[in-house]
Structure 1
């Protein structure tokens, strides 16, 4: 019995020593803290800040407007110049439209006059041609009567020949007339035939819209004026279309410039994440410059745990290793994964994190682990700032802690 008690006591002492040594020698962090990335909202324009009364730590949602910056002295010179150009372009458009209307009315009036002149010219040519044909018919009939009178007088065939009649075949005058027609009558018939040809040519030209007079052909003054007006009308219509295109381009540029001015006049500050309000850097009514920091938001969707470990533990770790994080005050244990090994003096990597490291933390080796189930734990939403410890190796009392 005595040896049994001694054996049990020795066994308990050995177990206690094993537990103490195992707990102390297991790979664990000296301290650990729940951390998260910070997002900064900066002023997109220079102006005055309008901000409601926001409490630090207040919950913010994605796409929520938190504040705004307005500038009543925004530069509108370019917009005003474009509006002035648009007004001048519209005035020119209206002027061209009125000129086109007047030119069309004038062209219509002159077109009516030209049509009347053309009809009158055709009738005049027809009348002259008819009279010329009548004169030609009369002269030809007179020539035939003269020839018949000479035949009736039974003029001797071998009589002294008329010198004019003897010369007529050589000159070629009045080829369709009898040979014994007097030369003056033959010349009259030839002149009448020439006039008929000229009148027929004039009538044909008149029907084609050409005015023939005094050995030159051209359109009448009304036709010339109508052609000139139509050419000017084409030019006015081309200028009018160009003016419409210019106005359309100005309208688009004015819309774009107004959008730009509106953006420069007032710009909202929109939350780009779900999280909490961490810091207010500019208050309501304060004037800020473009790019100045206004608000800092805590990104609760990307929570990590930063811890410091000894050199011996640090050298055994690598990214992707499994770990466990125990939250102080609750005893909750979460599965974790090593994400980053920053080494000693890793102060620069905390510039964009919510909780900065202390001097003792920087003397050791920095390790960051991800804890997926931390945001949904009993610690509440976004437990940034909570402390605990990270364990990288198993310990003797882990099963007992699991039961508790």
Structure 2
């Protein structure tokens, strides 16, 4: 029979060897995983303010560019009480400063008028004192002449007395007259000095006290009062101006705050595709409510599970080949991180589920190199597609396999 033919038996044996080699060789030459999934992260966009969505946000699956406006929020119920109060306070401070400046300007004009009057009074006083001084100096000259006459008369009488012509009484009368003229001369000189001092003081704008009476004119007194009032007004004007400036700064900040609460736009943080949407045009949103999820296709990766006995065969930097299930195209990748079977897995903002297992499998994350997948926005960058991953072994390591088998048996 044909089945008992030697050639047939040899052929069947060769086919069985080839089949065994085809089954065992991939496991000996590399690690293959069929439970991988293309995955990526997404950015969650929350509402920056309370308000209402104007316009329709992009639909799910819509490609978006970095900086593109995805949603606009308007809020017509913003509290503007503080801003109105600051504006009223600002206007009040400016009005007060303006009113005080008008009062100060009027007082400045009054001060100038009083200064003119004082100047006229000072000029008149100087002229009067100069005339009095000239009169007193003439009197001094007369008194000096009289004093000379008295001295000459005294000398003549004393000479005649020595000759027995005049009596002693006549000489004494001449002495008394000489003493009187000398006193008058001294008084006149002192009066001239006093008047000269007054004149010098008036020329300097100082009006001295005469006979216990204050000789300071009313214009000077009123001018001093006006100057004090002007200084007080300048202080109050500066205070109100400072207050107005401070209020203006507060008002600017409050206006910025109100504008930021009245309207806000939500831009796309990067080039991607709308993954999920929880609002529509006209929806009311609250601060920090989730609105959209944008898929980040810039970094695609694959999470796979491999037996933990092969943990040491895989390390960061190892190259890997990734093939989408149902497609022949192979994409390059590189091992990014490894975690043991008992490692705590922190949930991340991933678009696809990570593979789960109850066996002793290590978790391997493979980062895909940039390819056409990163811009395949129409298909969500193939996120969620099942892939086959293969990582080649450097050697068969039969010795290590035998040692592991011996350790397990004995």
CA distance in 2, matches of 1:142, 1:386: 140
1 CA distance for matches of 2:118 and 2:377? 96
TM-score of the pair, normalised by structure 2 = 0.83
Distance 1:164 1:33 in 2: 151
Q: Where does 1:140-289 land on structure 2 (aligned, <5 Å)?
A: 140-152=144-156, 154-157=159-162, 181-212=177-208, 213-215=210-212, 219-289=216-286
Structure 1 residue 82 corresponds to structure 2 residue 86: yes
**Match for residue 290 of structure 1 among 278, 287, 307:** 287
Deviations, residues 10-68 of structure 1 (Å, cap 9, x unaligned): 55543332122113554111321111101000111222222425221111111111002
Q: Give the secondary structure class of the aligned counterpart of 1:27.
A: strand
Partner of 1:22: 25
Q: CA deviation at 1:120?
A: 1.0
Q: Structure 1, unaligned stretches of length 5 or more? A: 167-177, 396-404
Q: Distance in 1 between matches of 2:23 and 2:352?
A: 32
Q: Are 1:334 and 1:373, in contact at CA under 8 Å, matched by a contact in 2? A: no
Moved more, 303-312 or 362-371: 362-371
C-alpha distance in structure 2 between counterparts of 1:388 and 1:199, whole Å:
121
Separation in structure 1 between the aligned mates of residue 192 and residue 145 of structure 2, nearest angstrom: 16
Alignment-derived partner of residue 318 in structure 1: 315
Report the CA distance shift for 1:78/1:53 in structure 2 as closer, same or farther (over 3 A). Answer: closer
The answer as to whether partners of 1:322 and 1:338 remain within 8 angstroms in 2 is: yes
Residue 388 of structure 1 corresponds to which residue in structure 2? 387
Q: Deviations over 1:295-334 (max 9, x none)?
A: 1110111211122333334464333322211122321112
Question: Normalized against structure 1, the TM-score is what?
Answer: 0.84
RMSD of equivalent CA atoms: 3.3
Alpha carbons 1:303, 1:375 under 8 Å: kept: no
Q: 321-330 or 21-30: which moved more?
A: 21-30
Change beyond 3 A, Cα 1:248–1:161 = farther
| 2:119 corresponds to 1:119 | no
1:189-234, CA deviations, whole angstroms, 9 ceiling, x for partnerless residues? 2322221121111111111211122256764322222223223222
Residue aligning to 1:102: 106
Q: Distance in 2 between matches of 1:64 and 1:380?
A: 16
Instruction: Indicate the SS of the match to 1:256.
Output: helix
Q: Deviations over 1:237-295 (max 9, x none)?
A: 23323322222222221111100111112121111111110001122222222111111
Which of 300, 316, 323 is the aligned partner of 2:297? 300
CA distance in 1, matches of 2:347, 2:373: 24
User: After the TM superposition, which of the residue ranges 192-201 and 146-155 deviates more from structure 2?
Assistant: 146-155
| 2:50 alignment partner, one of 40, 46, 51 | 46
CA spacing shift, 1:203–1:8, aligned 2, 3 Å: same
Deviations 1:130-177 (A, max 9, x none): 1111112112212222333444555324876569969xxxxxxxxxxx
> Does the C-alpha gap of structure 1 residues 350 and 331 become closer, same or farther in structure 2, counting only changes over 3 Å?
farther
Q: Distance in 2 between matches of 1:135 and 1:100?
A: 51
Residues 143, 186 of structure 1: 8 Å contact kept: yes
Answer yes or no: is the 8 Å Cα contact 2:299–2:368 preserved in 1. Answer: no
Structure 2 unaligned regions, length at least 5 = 395-410
Q: Is the 8 A contact 2:272 2:294 kept in 1?
A: yes
Q: Name the SS of the counterpart of 2:31 in structure 1.
A: coil
| Contact kept? 1:209, 1:219, Cα under 8 Å | no
> Number of residues paired by the alignment?
384
- Judge conservation of contact 1:39–1:297 (CA < 8 Å) in 2: yes
